[in-house]
Amino acid sequence: MKILHLSYSISKGGASRAALRIHQSLLEKNINSFIKFNILNGPELNTENIIKPSLFRSYFNKIKSAIESRISKILRKNNFVKNSISLFPTQLHKFINKSDYDIVHLHWINGETISIEDIGKITKPLVWTIQDMWPFTGSEHYSFNTNWKNGYSNNNKNKANLINVDIEKFTWKRKIKSWKKKINIVGTSKWITNCASNSYLMQKFPALTINNTLDINFWKTQNKKECKKYFNLPQNIKLIGFSSLGHKNEILKGKDLFLSAIKKINYDQKNIAFFSIGDSN
């Protein structure tokens, strides 16, 4: 079996790293896996069977992504949540359909990696590992309403959109029109799998939950005392850590819930401490 993974990157962001790990784990099982990505992001991680863009193509793809991002921001007054419209044709479907790949595995494919219409033109069997809500919402990567369940209409237009321009409905209708073929959905958590299965767009697609792959030969338990010593952490108190990349993602990553939970704990500062990983604030 020959598998092609499509990903925006293999090193920028958690979703890209997750895609790379899935590819590498398949190689370890002697499965003929290849990964094609959209942008170069400095020195790439070493792995087999990668299809990387040329410097020119990577630069061109970054320009397309920047233009799309600018359009999305112009059409919305509130840009707290990332929006993607995946508008520019890529013709990737032609390359894929002529190839001898048996399965195409989509990962985080925004940043103009492939257009909504081009996804619908792929004739190979499709698997899609979803890392956020974009595959079944309109244009937003996280939704604070339930429009993705019932459908986008003039009655539930997001007030953050500019007058007479409903970017979410526009993007959602393109998905409805383009994605007629079955897509096999893989959620990385039970929550997002349930969301996809209850969405207007993907409720008829088969879906299951497979947690993100992790190399347990690299990520493994170490001696706790030695680790605390290495990172200059106190030895004789309990430590509770929280990981969140970027202060803008506080609500999306649950940092607000973490801080709320801390306030409800009766603790002596001599016995317990809290620390944050990956957040400069």
CATH of the domain at 117: 3.40.50.11930
Task: For residue range 198-221, list pLDDT tens digits in order.
Answer: 999 999 999 999 999 888 888 899
Q: Are residues 146 and 269 in the same domain?
A: no
Q: Which domain holds residue 272?
A: 224-277
In this structure, the answer to whether residues 30 and 169 fall within a common structural domain is yes
Lowest mean pLDDT among 95-99, 166-170, 223-227, 239-243: 239-243
Verify that 140 and 190 share a domain, yes or no. yes
pLDDT band of residue 256 (cuts 50, 70, 90) is confident
User: Is 193 in the same domain as 246?
Assistant: no
pLDDT score for 127: 98
Tell whether 197 and 232 lie within a shared domain.
no
Q: Specify whether 148 is located in the same domain as 228.
A: no
Q: What is the pLDDT of residue 71?
A: 86
Looking at residue 139, its pLDDT comes to 92
Question: What's the total number of domains in the chain?
Answer: 2
The predicted-structure confidence for 268-280, as pLDDT tens digits, reads as follows 777 888 877 775 5
Q: How confident is the model at residue 247 (pLDDT cuts 50, 70, 90)?
A: low
- Per-residue pLDDT, 266: 79
Residue in this structure with the two tokens 């317990």, named with its chain if needed? 272
Are residues 158 and 228 part of one domain?
no
Instruction: Please report the pLDDT score of residue 144 as a whole number.
Output: 87
Q: In the predicted model, is pLDDT for residue 81 greater than 90?
A: no
Q: Are residues 188 and 272 in the same domain?
A: no
Look at residue 235 and tell me whether its pLDDT is greater than 60.
yes
**What is the arithmetic mean of pLDDT over 234-239?**
87
In a domain? residue 176: yes
Final residue in a domain of this structure, among 184, 209, 234: 209
Tell me what the mean pLDDT of segment 238-244 comes to. Answer: 82
Residue 265 lies in a domain: yes
User: 236 with 173, same domain?
Assistant: no
Same domain, 201 and 235: no
Strand partners for 19? none
**What's the whole-number mean pLDDT along residues 229-252?**
80
pLDDT band at 223 (very low <50, low <70, confident <90, very high): very high
Task: Please give the share of the chain, as a percent, with pLDDT higher than 90.
Answer: 59
Return mean pLDDT, the chain: 89
Q: Is residue 214 part of a domain?
A: no
- Judge if 100 and 153 occupy the same domain: yes
Domain co-membership, 231 together with 201: no
Last residue of a domain, one of 209, 241, 259: 209
CA angle 29, 31, 34 (to 5 degrees): 125
